[in-house]
């Protein structure tokens, strides 16, 4: 009995695949009703299922498939043409067969799945077809046995009988101009190729079934198998085989493996990776060359093994997409749209688990595109577009991610409509909306409770939609973008990681614990040393921010979020690092104590009770065997940036930073001896450094210093301004000004402060070396004319650089004359403090 179960099991799996193929074939037939190739494939598929169900004594299944087969055989033999009702009926049959198979899988029996309606429908279509046929055809057609149809139930085995019948009919059918369908036929594609020989192969095969019914399918299929490019494997290999004890030929190169086995393998590979990491540490300490070599090999093998196992989990995205033609067809007819579905990149591979996760979001996007995107045929025609809309799916790999695009050539998203809706729904005020950029407006689509469908249809428009899609995609570390041109169409772009099982991550330390941050959300790192940590972190009404290249980055103190210590304590923690993270459209800085390293981590599921905390997405085991929590960047952002307001908050920040940039200039207040102070625009300063006096050397009369592999001239401000330094210090603070690879170090006596200057520059004093003066904390400070100061140190600086720039064509540092600082040159610190180049993306 076990053996029997196995056969049933195999039948179920195979049939499921076959039915998918049948679905595709039927849809393809609608577009190309005459294709013999597809017809044969469809026929074979259904015949195989019928044959096996007969063998396994699934009577109802056999009846249904038999009816379907009869209709298909008529189509194949050209006695009838594919029409929409026929396609509907056949698809319904496929669904019924699926229902039966499900029932068999669940209960072991066919159950109560109703089969009569679909059988009646199919028979009706066949009966209709036969009566008008003689009338339509000019010649009397001796069509002798199509009526075998109502009777088939009785003798399933002999059922191959319809096969031979075409023999006489085939010749006639070929002569007949068109097999006209029934009178009430809906728009029929009458493009019926007159292939006089078309029926011949079937005719040849005709005699065979009579003597050996079960083997018959093979014989019938054979002539066709030679031609089609890639007939479904299973279709060509009837399941009668097990009984005959034969090997399945086409299956030799592939193997069905239980997913659990793969998951176990994957887990073991993950553990192997961890063990290897631990071993490698130990080996490095031992410094034994022979052992190191062995460990190195183990290292390579482990990596290869891990990759190979990862591959077994990868599946082409086609597994998901192959279901979509049916969805598109059904939706199209429900919504009254004509849609052509095109796909590129079906073989793009993605982790099986992820495939499962993106299934619903993707289906939703496709629904959306048909329901909201593509217009009704009349509307399209009126707009000068073809009545048939195009839905294009595209998938490709891009920098460690899979990009999936759903593009339609529909109406696009009208910004005005969208904003009106947002206001109506109370998501945004009209004032807010007025100031939003187009890209921001498009983001509104993802707001919870948003739906632009004019009315709620069966398909979409219930307001649960894009926000859920977005949440789901973000939950797996993906992103979603929307691009829309009114009148031209909409493109929705999903970016999802290739796999979730092993991810590159940054390990950071906060308090006494280490945490992992997925590299995919990491943009860059900014190191803050103890001295700067306090001054560089500023407050906007109590909310900490950091100036990152001129714009304010909201900061989240990890220690504070996790309740390890308060922000006040953190302020005195000394060195800190800002990890600049991207969560959806938001950017924020995560303040941590230390960056440990980057490594590939194996993601382990977290107990649900800990997952609900909402800050951790999982856990991992680090190289030293300790468990580390993986931070959930999306949720962290949501939690700390206040869910609903966060988008607006971002805008507010953008506005604030714009405000700061346009009117305020940061000034470096430097002492130049004898109590005198000068102000230097920070936009002119590339970097602040301390230079040991001992490093200063002389070239001719000039003082120079070696700095980052360059020899740069030194300019002592005090001397230039005619004052004397208060005392000789062992280290001199310098402001380095660089342009096009050339630098000048401006030596100050001391750095007093960095201030923000909102007041306009008063330029009534025009002393040597100054462009004006400013009031800083009630004190008048001269604003240094950096340009002329530099010229004093290096008269050729600007001309030389103009030439250098022209030659190289690259300018590393924008020269901004003070006063016209509409584009601030950026924070000097971040350029230096950045540890990593912009993140994985």
Q: Is 411 or 603 the residue whose CB approaches another protein more closely?
A: 603
Q: What is the DSSP string of 108-172?
A: SS-TT---HHHHHHHHHHHHHHHTHHHHHSSSPP---SGGGTTSGGG-SGGGGTTTTTHHHHHHH
Stretch touching another protein by CB under 8 A, among 65-73, 89-97, 99-107, 608-616: 608-616
Q: Is 604 or 719 the residue whose CB approaches another protein more closely?
A: 604
Candidate residues 605, 643, 655, 693; the one interacting with another protein per rule CB under 8 A: 605
Are 410 and 367 in contact by the 8 Å Cβ rule? The answer is no
Residues 6+ apart with CB under 8 A from 612: none
What 8-state DSSP symbol labels residue 253?
G
Q: Fill in the per-residue mask, 405 to 444: x = in contact with another protein (CB under 8 A), - = not in contact.
A: ----------------------------------------
Stretch touching another protein by CB under 8 A, among 142-150, 286-294, 593-601, 610-618: 610-618
Q: Does 562 bind another protein (CB under 8 A)?
A: yes
Q: Is 74 or 514 the residue whose CB approaches another protein more closely?
A: 514
Candidate residues 607, 698, 701, 779; the one interacting with another protein per rule CB under 8 A: 607
Candidate residues 512, 778, 807, 822; the one interacting with another protein per rule CB under 8 A: 512
Helix axes 36-55 and 2-31, enclosed angle (nearest 10):
160
Are 410 and 373 in contact by the 8 Å Cβ rule? The answer is yes
Q: Does 636 bind another protein (CB under 8 A)?
A: no
Q: C-beta of 602: minimal distance to another protein in Å?
A: 8
Q: Is 271 or 378 the residue whose CB approaches another protein more closely?
A: 271
Stretch touching another protein by CB under 8 A, among 70-78, 204-212, 311-319, 605-613: 605-613
Map the footprint of another protein across residues 492-511, applying CB under 8 A.
Answer: 511
Distance CA 127, CA 182 (A): 9
What 8-state DSSP symbol labels residue 519?
G
Q: Which two tokens stand for residue 195?
A: 């292939």
CA 456 to mean position of chain CA atoms: 28
Q: Does 564 bind another protein (CB under 8 A)?
A: yes
Map the footprint of another protein across residues 444-483, applying CB under 8 A.
Answer: none
Residue 116: CB atoms within 10 A of its CB come to 11
Q: Does 604 bind another protein (CB under 8 A)?
A: yes
Q: C-beta of 149: minimal distance to another protein in Å?
A: 53
Q: Is 225 or 279 the residue whose CB approaches another protein more closely?
A: 279
Distance CA 683, CA 787 (A): 12
Q: Is 594 or 604 the residue whose CB approaches another protein more closely?
A: 604
Q: Which two tokens stand for residue 543?
A: 């909310």
Q: Is 85 or 270 the residue whose CB approaches another protein more closely?
A: 270
Q: Which two tokens stand for residue 327?
A: 């969805």
Candidate residues 34, 51, 156, 270; the one interacting with another protein per rule CB under 8 A: 270
Q: Is 448 or 511 the residue whose CB approaches another protein more closely?
A: 511
Q: Which long-range contacts (CB under 8 A, 24 or more apart) does 218-221 make?
A: 220/44, 220/47, 220/160, 220/163, 221/40, 221/44, 221/47
Q: C-beta of 564: minimal distance to another protein in Å?
A: 6
Residue 576: CB atoms within 10 A of its CB come to 25
Q: Does 563 bind another protein (CB under 8 A)?
A: yes
Q: C-beta of 627: minimal distance to another protein in Å?
A: 4
Q: C-beta of 514: minimal distance to another protein in Å?
A: 8
Q: Is 203 or 629 the residue whose CB approaches another protein more closely?
A: 629
Q: Is 122 or 622 the residue whose CB approaches another protein more closely?
A: 622
Residues in the chain: 841
Map the footprint of another protein across residues 147-176, applying CB under 8 A.
Answer: none
Q: Is 279 or 468 the residue whose CB approaches another protein more closely?
A: 279
Q: Is 197 or 607 the residue whose CB approaches another protein more closely?
A: 607
Q: What is the DSSP string of 40-62?
A: HHHHHHHHHHHHHHHHTT-HHHH
Q: C-beta of 626: minimal distance to another protein in Å?
A: 5
Q: C-beta of 228: minimal distance to another protein in Å?
A: 47
Are 73 and 43 in contact by the 8 Å Cβ rule? The answer is yes
Q: C-beta of 603: minimal distance to another protein in Å?
A: 10
Are 194 and 179 in contact by the 8 Å Cβ rule? The answer is no
Q: Which two tokens stand for residue 155?
A: 């003798």
Candidate residues 87, 225, 596, 606; the one interacting with another protein per rule CB under 8 A: 606
Q: C-beta of 20: minimal distance to another protein in Å?
A: 33
What φ, ψ does residue 807 adopt, rounded to 5°? -70, -55
Q: Which two tokens stand for residue 51?
A: 């044959």
Q: Fill in the per-residue mask, 613 to 632: x = in contact with another protein (CB under 8 A), - = not in contact.
A: x-xx--xxx---xxxxx---
Q: Does 138 bind another protein (CB under 8 A)?
A: no
Distance CA 501, CA 516 (A): 14
Count, residues near another protein per rule CB under 8 A:
28
Q: Does 591 bind another protein (CB under 8 A)?
A: no
Map the footprint of another protein across residues 228-267, applying CB under 8 A.
Answer: 267
Distance CA 97, CA 803 (A): 78
Q: Is 513 or 703 the residue whose CB approaches another protein more closely?
A: 513
Which three-class secondary structure string do you get for 501-524? CEEEEEEEEECCEEEEEEHHHEEE
Q: Residue 216 forms beta bridges with which residues?
A: none
Q: Which two tokens stand for residue 202?
A: 């079937």
- CA-CA distances (angstroms) from residue 752 to 144, 660, 733, 782? 107, 22, 11, 14
| Residue of 666, 669, 683, 671 whose CA lies nearest to 536 | 666
Are 203 and 170 in contact by the 8 Å Cβ rule? The answer is yes
State the residues that interact with another protein by CB under 8 A: 267, 270-271, 274-275, 511-513, 562-564, 604-607, 609-610, 613, 615-616, 619-621, 625-629
């Amino acid at each position: 009995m076990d053996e029997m179960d196995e056969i049933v099991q195999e039948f179920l799996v195979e049939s499921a695949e076959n039915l998918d193929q049948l679905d595709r074939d039927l849809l393809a037939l609608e577009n190309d009703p005459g294709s013999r190739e597809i017809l044969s494939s469809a026929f074979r598929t259904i015949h195989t299922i019928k044959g096996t169900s007969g063998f396994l004594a699934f009577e109802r299944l056999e009846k249904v498939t038999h009816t379907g087969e009869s209709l298909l055989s008529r189509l194949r033999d050209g006695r009838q043409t594919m029409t929409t009702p026929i396609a509907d009926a056949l698809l319904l049959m496929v669904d019924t067969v699926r229902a039966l198979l499900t029932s068999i899988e669940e209960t072991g029996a066919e159950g109560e799945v109703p089969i009569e309606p679909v059988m009646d429908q199919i028979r009706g279509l066949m009966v209709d077809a036969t009566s008008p046929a003689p009338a339509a055809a000019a010649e009397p057609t001796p069509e002798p046995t199509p009526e075998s149809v109502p009777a088939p139930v009785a003798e399933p085995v002999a059922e191959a009988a319809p096969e031979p019948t075409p023999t006489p009919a085939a010749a006639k059918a070929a002569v007949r101009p068109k097999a006209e369908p029934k009178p009430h036929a809906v728009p029929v594609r009458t493009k019926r190729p007159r292939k006089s020989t078309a029926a011949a192969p079937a005719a040849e095969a005709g005699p065979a079934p009579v003597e050996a019914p079960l083997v018959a399918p093979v014989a019938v299929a054979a002539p066709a198998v030679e031609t089609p490019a890639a007939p479904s494997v299973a279709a060509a290999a009837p399941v009668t085989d097990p009984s005959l004890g034969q090997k399945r030929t086409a299956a030799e190169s592939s193997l069905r493996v239980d997913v659990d086995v793969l998951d176990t393998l994957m887990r073991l590979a993950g553990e192997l990776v961890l063990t290897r990491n631990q071993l490698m540490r130990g080996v490095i300490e031992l410094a034994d060359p022979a052992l190191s070599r062995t460990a190195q090999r183990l290292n390579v093998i482990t990596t290869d093994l891990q990759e190979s196992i990862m591959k077994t989990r990868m599946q082409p995205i086609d597994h998901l997409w192959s279901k979509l033609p049916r969805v598109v067809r059904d939706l199209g007819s429900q919504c009254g749209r004509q849609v052509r579905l095109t796909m590129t990149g079906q073989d793009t591979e993605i982790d099986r688990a992820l495939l499962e996760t993106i299934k619903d979001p993707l289906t939703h996007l496709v629904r959306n595109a048909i329901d909201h995107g593509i217009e009704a045929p009349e509307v399209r025609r009126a707009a000068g577009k073809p009545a048939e809309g195009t839905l294009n799916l595209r998938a490709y790999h891009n920098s460690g991610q899979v990009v999936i695009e759903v593009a339609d050539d529909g109406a696009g998203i009208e910004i005005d409509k969208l904003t009106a809706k947002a206001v109506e729904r109370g998501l945004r005020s009209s004032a807010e909306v007025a100031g939003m950029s187009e890209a921001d407006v498009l983001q509104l689509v993802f707001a919870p409770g948003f739906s632009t469908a004019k009315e709620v249809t069966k398909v979409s428009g219930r307001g649960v939609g894009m926000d859920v899609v977005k949440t789901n995609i973000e939950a797996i570390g993906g992103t979603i973008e929307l691009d829309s041109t009114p009148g031209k169409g909409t493109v929705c772009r999903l970016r999802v990681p290739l796999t979730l099982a092993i991810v590159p991550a940054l390990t950071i330390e906060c308090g006494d614990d280490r945490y992992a941050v997925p590299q995919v959300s990491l943009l860059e790192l900014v190191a803050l040393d103890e001295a700067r940590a306090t001054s560089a972190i500023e407050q906007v009404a109590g909310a900490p921010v950091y100036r990152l290249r001129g714009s304010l980055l909201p900061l989240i103190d990890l220690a504070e979020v996790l309740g390890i210590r308060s922000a006040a304590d953190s302020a005195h923690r000394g060195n800190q690092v800002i990890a600049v993270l991207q969560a959806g459209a938001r950017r924020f800085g995560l303040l941590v104590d230390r960056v440990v390293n980057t490594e590939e981590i194996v993601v382990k599921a977290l107990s649900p009770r800990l997952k609900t905390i909402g800050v951790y997405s999982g856990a991992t085991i680090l190289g030293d065997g300790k468990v580390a929590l993986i931070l959930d960047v999306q949720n962290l952002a949501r939690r700390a940036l206040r869910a609903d307001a966060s988008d607006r908050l971002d805008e507010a920040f953008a506005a604030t930073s714009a405000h700061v940039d346009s009117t305020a200039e940061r000034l470096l207040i430097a002492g130049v001896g004898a109590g005198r102070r000068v102000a230097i625009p920070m936009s002119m300063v590339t970097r602040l450094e301390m230079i040991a006096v001992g490093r200063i050397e002389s070239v001719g009369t000039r003082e120079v210093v070696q700095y980052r592999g360059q020899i740069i001239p030194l300019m002592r401000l005090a001397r230039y301004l005619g004052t004397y330094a208060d005392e000789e210090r062992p280290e001199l603070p310098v402001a380095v000004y660089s342009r096009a690879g050339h630098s000048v170090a401006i030596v100050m006596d001391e750095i007093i402060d960095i201030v923000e200057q909102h007041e306009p520059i008063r330029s009534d004093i025009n002393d040597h070396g100054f462009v004006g003066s400013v009031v800083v904390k009630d004190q008048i400070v001269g604003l240094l004319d950096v340009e002329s100061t530099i010229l004093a140190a290096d008269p050729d600086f600007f001309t030389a650089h103009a030439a250098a720039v022209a030659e190289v064509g690259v300018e590393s540092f924008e020269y901004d004359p003070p006063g016209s600082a509409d584009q601030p040159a950026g924070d000097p610190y971040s350029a230096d403090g950045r540890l990593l180049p912009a993140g994985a993306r």
